[in-house]
Amino acid sequence: MSHSTSHTSAEREHKLGLAGLTARTFIHSPLSPLLFFAMLAMGILGLMSTPRQEDPQISVPMIDVFVQYPGASTDQVVSLAVNPLERLLSEIPGVKHVYSASEREQGVITVRFKVGEEMGPSLVKVHDKLQANRQVLPPGALEPVVRPKGIDDVPVVTLTLWSEVVDDAAMRALGAKLLQSLSQIPNAGQGFVVGGRQEQIRVEVEPQRLAGFGVTFDHIAETIKTANAERRTGDAEADERHLTVYTGSFLRNASDVERLMLGTYNGAPIYIRDVARVSLEPEEYKQQVNYYTGPSYPGDAEADGMPAVTIALAKKEGSNGVTVANAILDKVEQLKGQLIPDNVRIEVTRNYGKTANDKVNELIFKLFVATGAVSLLILLALGIKPAIVVTLVIPVVLLMTVFSAWILGYTIDRVSLFALIFSIGILVDDAIVVVENIYRRWLMKGETDTSTAVAAVAEVGNPTIIATLTVVAALLPMGFVSGLMGPYMEPIPALGSAAMLFSLFAAFAFTPWLAMRIKPGLAAIKKAEEREHKTAETLEGFFRGLLVPLIERKPLGYAFLFGLIGAFFLSCGLFYAKAVAFKMLPYDNKPELSVVLDMPEGTALGKTVNTARLLADQVRGIPEVLAIQTYAGTAKPFDFNGMVRHYYLRQKPWQGEIQIQVTDKHERDRSSHEIALEVRDLLTPLAQDAGARITVVEMPPGPPVLQSVVAEIYGPDAKTRRQVAADMTQMFEEVDSLADVDNYMHEPYEILRFDVDAEKAVRLGISVDTVIRNLDMALGGFQAGDVKRGRLLEPTFITIEVPLAMRANLTRLSDLPIPTADGRAVPLTELGSFVKTPQDPIVYHKDLRPMEYVVGDAVGKLGAPLYPMLEMEDKLKDYRTPDGVTLSGTMFTGAPPDNGQSGFEWSGEWTVTYETFRDMGLAFGVALVLIYMLVVAEFGNFVTPGVIMAPIPLTLLGIVPGHWLLGADFTATSMIGFIALAGIIVRNSILLVDFSIEEVERGQSVTEAVISACKARTRPILITALALVAGSSVILTDPIFQGMAISLLFGVLVSTLLTLVVIPLGCVSAGKYLVRRGSTHA
């Protein structure tokens, strides 16, 4: 007897399954409300603690290794210094690429690690490799300097100081003090100052006076160095006191320097002031920053190219960018009138904290809107009390998902929030199915009791679990996408899957508990049942009229099948017809853009400044412009895009950048991309007239690349390679859909070399090194130490050189005295002469192979790199390289083979696009396999899962035409929506097939069973589809995730309607397989 009771109990529990057991455990447990509120509290904690960013933080360690090889030609730098280091650094585990750029006397090697590698360990590996192989550097090469760059080095706030009365030198000193003060803020990271001139003690030497007094530059430098000394020299005791003895005194001002005695001449003392002008003044211009106000500038002041200084400050790794940015700006407000004088204006020229917070708040608002829309939909479909039950479950699931984001190390950013918004339309489905079945079973029994509720949960438990797992199976493989887009999109599969699992638990644990406490009376249920009965009759009539002819009349059924196939290929044909373009990500709508300016090589800084001003004046006519900063001879504080492109290394006099701030997107009608197009149209003719090239740079919506279209050209030798690059540059310019075409080859420009007559120098007792040293002091702003004055944060150097007017006419240096070994001096003109020679070209390497870059930006209606690349491939069919090769770029296999022939690889945005769509395609394949295995495990045969998964391709019937109707590109986010829909559509199919099997097992024919399934399951299926539509519609206007919204919205609408036809027809076709695993039904 006891054994029989135990067996019955075990059988009952087995019948309840996981869902029923969970419901029975929590439906009246006092732990249920405690767990409910505990999960809410955990979610709120996660919401408060999780750092906020605008975009996910992508860890791509990039480490620059700078090597100096004084005097060496470019070829010598490459072969003796850069090549050995490249080889060593490429051996480090975790390195993806090694790039280098070599020029006369110096080279920079960039080690780019794989995505996801951590900066700390990567930096240690580089240092260890260099320290263990110091012997590979040639004699004369300096110790390599290692400078890491990562996402946390990107400044989150930049502040620009400008004034109508204070000069740039004083503002730079002020900027250094302000940076020091702001760096005290908790979690403030790396900071630096751009622009302005440091003050220095300038010793401007007249060579004629030196010759007249028999003094040389060596004398002056040595005198300053030896006089500028002070240090502790010991201890003494006197009158029972201990005394510390210091000897010497540092130079403190210009007077101290000019009073230094160099020696005597004809018995009279010679001072530095006798041979040079000594003054305290700003250094000569090596860089220049100017500030302009635009038409939308909010203040009363007007800046027309005022000298400016920019302060940049990053945040520490793992800290909240919003909090750090707000703390910086609060500190600035405190310092106004104290450290910052009233006659200096300070402008916020970058605030990533604000943009991140605005984006997060906007998306949180959309999250509430989506939740409200879904709740309203449930209210209309099921009534007020079921709507309350389901609505109460939503915040628990969402907040627990935020808590899991905190635990998993994600940030609150637009991608993670989109994952939540996207999930709302799906996660309510579990609760809807459960609460609807509880009400239906109560109605059938005529009593709102606990056992019926538990049984109702158990009844839908297995198909709900399988349906939920299919969505997870569709999402999770996307988490393994490689490359830069992997970590960028990773929050969507991770947090979407977490939300689905939390929703499943909430549906089985909290929904029954809430339903028992917010339950309607039987009268209300019966009234609802009457309405449902009428709806069911209407649905039955509709499906009989639709399905029976398709089932019984085979020609009609086949016509429907072939119609679907034809529609599928027509939809896909929109890609081929270029009606829908493939693109990585669409353009974002940002409050800033920039213009990179490249003057002809060898251009003086002044001309670069004037050209930048000319371009800035033109941009000031655009009404949305807030302000402009121009940078000449230096780069603006880099962003993530500039970090990848290495814009922070642009320090040559002929290089410049124009930073354009525009009004907030809510205050203008045009997008930042439309403004960028106008900027390009306005500035390109002006730049061409000045012989310059410009590149309009927009903030990328996703991972940055070198440029959207990049051809990496390889060849048998430098001459062939550069000729091919020049020819391809010309062909790039002929492609209408390419703009801002350029290559990284320098145009030939001249340098001056002083050719020393070595034999004559030796006869005179002068070494070549002595000539070099004296010319370095005359022309190079030689630093002979510094003066100690006040509490300045930057040193005041003592520089020795000849006046600028003399450096502009080097023939006036002919009298420059060069000391001999016996103490005499010989004029420079007797030792050699200045000759003009061409500068060595820069040599680029990638993964140890020499190459050249040709770049451009894809523009026009299609705006994706694939289409100009294909046009270029057509042009290249008629082109032969100097070594007789017909070129065709490698698009999928990496760099061309190193076979001694010309070749090139398509890179840039295409590489990220290809890797992303390739990996997403693989993820889609894995998702299909996982879904198939789950469904096979549930139904126990191989045919039924095929029927269930048949509607997946039908999603494209909505997705592709949806993109065409809205004029949107098919992007990576569109692909995410497509993959996610596979799980969602299979979920609906399972509900239909599961119910059909139940009806067949009750003795109905397959045709009647599928009609009954459609009648019973159409409402929850449509509610699920409309909930997804409501959830995705709020992100339809977002420029980045519009593609995902279109995929979900149009895909689910079309495929859901077709599923209600295709699944019944498939069930009839596979009638004998319509059985559950373990069933004996024939």
Structural domains of the chain, with CATH: 2-49+383-584+914-1073 (1.20.1640.10), 60-149 (3.30.70.1430), 199-282+750-838 (3.30.2090.10)
DSSP 412: B
- Distance separating alpha carbons of residues 629 and 869, to the nearest angstrom: 34
What backbone phi and psi angles, to 5 degrees, belong to 694? -125, 155
- Distance separating alpha carbons of residues 415 and 957, to the nearest angstrom: 26
Burial of 661 per CB tally in 10 Å (0-12, 13-18, 19+): buried
Sign for the pseudo-dihedral over CA of 671, 672, 673, 674: positive
- Distance separating alpha carbons of residues 998 and 605, to the nearest angstrom: 82
pLDDT (0 to 100) of residue 14: 46
Three-class SS state of 997: helix
- Distance separating alpha carbons of residues 21 and 24, to the nearest angstrom: 5
Whose tokens are 């029975």? That residue is 24
Give the H/E segment covering residue 76.
Answer: helix 74-76
- Distance separating alpha carbons of residues 864 and 868, to the nearest angstrom: 8
Confidence label for 780 from pLDDT (cuts 50, 70 and 90) = confident
Indicate if the pLDDT at residue 1067 is higher than 90.
Answer: no
Token pair, residue 868, equals: 């100009």
Q: Which of 415-419, 893-897, 1076-1080 has the lowest mean pLDDT?
A: 1076-1080
Q: Where are the beta strands (DSSP E) in 38-94?
A: 62-68
User: Which tens digit of pLDDT belongs to each residue from 640-686?
Assistant: 888 888 899 999 999 999 999 999 988 899 989 899 999 999 999 99
Q: DSSP letters along 308-365, please?
A: EEEEEEEE-TTS-HHHHHHHHHHHHHHHBTTTB-TTSEEEEEEEHHHHHHHHHHHHHH
Q: DSSP letters along 531-565, please?
A: HHHHHHHHHHHHHHHHHHHHHH-HHHHHHHHHHHH
Q: DSSP letters along 100-112, please?
A: EEEETTEEEEEEE
- Distance separating alpha carbons of residues 895 and 136, to the nearest angstrom: 28
Confidence label for 1077 from pLDDT (cuts 50, 70 and 90) = low
- Distance separating alpha carbons of residues 41 and 35, to the nearest angstrom: 10
Indicate if the pLDDT at residue 3 is higher than 60.
Answer: no
What backbone phi and psi angles, to 5 degrees, belong to 156? -90, -25
User: Which tens digit of pLDDT belongs to each residue from 966-989?
Assistant: 988 898 888 888 888 888 888 888
User: Which tens digit of pLDDT belongs to each residue from 1032-1059?
Assistant: 888 888 878 888 889 988 998 888 888 8
pLDDT (0 to 100) of residue 861: 79
What's the maximum distance between 2 C-alpha atoms anywhere in the chain? Answer: 132
Residue 118's nearest CA partner among 85, 156, 151, 154 is 151
Please compute the mean of the pLDDT values over residues 326-335 and round it to a whole number. 93
Q: Which residues of 50-64 are buried (b: 16+ CB within 10 A; e: fewer)?
A: bbbbbbbbbbbbbbb
pLDDT (0 to 100) of residue 1: 44
Token pair, residue 784, equals: 């002979």
Are 501 and 426 contacting, i.e. CB atoms less than 8 angstroms apart?
no
In this prediction the pTM is 0.86
User: Which tens digit of pLDDT belongs to each residue from 858-882?
Assistant: 888 777 888 899 899 999 988 999 9
pLDDT (0 to 100) of residue 10: 44
Please compute the mean of the pLDDT values over residues 433-437 and round it to a whole number. 83
In percent, how much of the chain has pLDDT > 70? 97
β-pairing, 796-801 with 199-205? parallel
Residue 855's nearest CA partner among 695, 1021, 741 is 741
- Distance separating alpha carbons of residues 75 and 104, to the nearest angstrom: 8
Indicate if the pLDDT at residue 155 is higher than 90.
Answer: yes
pLDDT (0 to 100) of residue 5: 44
Indicate if the pLDDT at residue 617 is higher than 60.
Answer: yes
pLDDT (0 to 100) of residue 936: 86
Please compute the mean of the pLDDT values over residues 310-328 and round it to a whole number. 91
Is the pLDDT higher at 1073 or at 719? 719
Confidence label for 1080 from pLDDT (cuts 50, 70 and 90) = very low
- Distance separating alpha carbons of residues 423 and 491, to the nearest angstrom: 12
Whose tokens are 């992508």? That residue is 58
Please compute the mean of the pLDDT values over residues 276-291 and round it to a whole number. 92
Query: From its phi and psi, is residue 144 left (phi > 0), alpha (psi between -120 and 50) or beta?
Result: beta
pLDDT (0 to 100) of residue 909: 86
Please compute the mean of the pLDDT values over residues 317-329 and round it to a whole number. 89
Confidence label for 855 from pLDDT (cuts 50, 70 and 90) = very high
Confidence label for 180 from pLDDT (cuts 50, 70 and 90) = very high
Residue 57's nearest CA partner among 542, 591, 640 is 640
Please compute the mean of the pLDDT values over residues 422-438 and round it to a whole number. 80
Residue 216's nearest CA partner among 961, 826, 998 is 826
pLDDT (0 to 100) of residue 1075: 64
Distances 362 to 369, 848, 893 between C-alpha atoms, Å: 11, 47, 41
Indicate if the pLDDT at residue 532 is higher than 80.
Answer: no
Q: Which of 73-87, 594-608, 710-724, 863-877 has the lowest mean pLDDT?
A: 863-877
Side-chain-side CA neighbours of 262 within 13 Å: the count stands at: 21
Indicate if the pLDDT at residue 326 is higher than 80.
Answer: yes
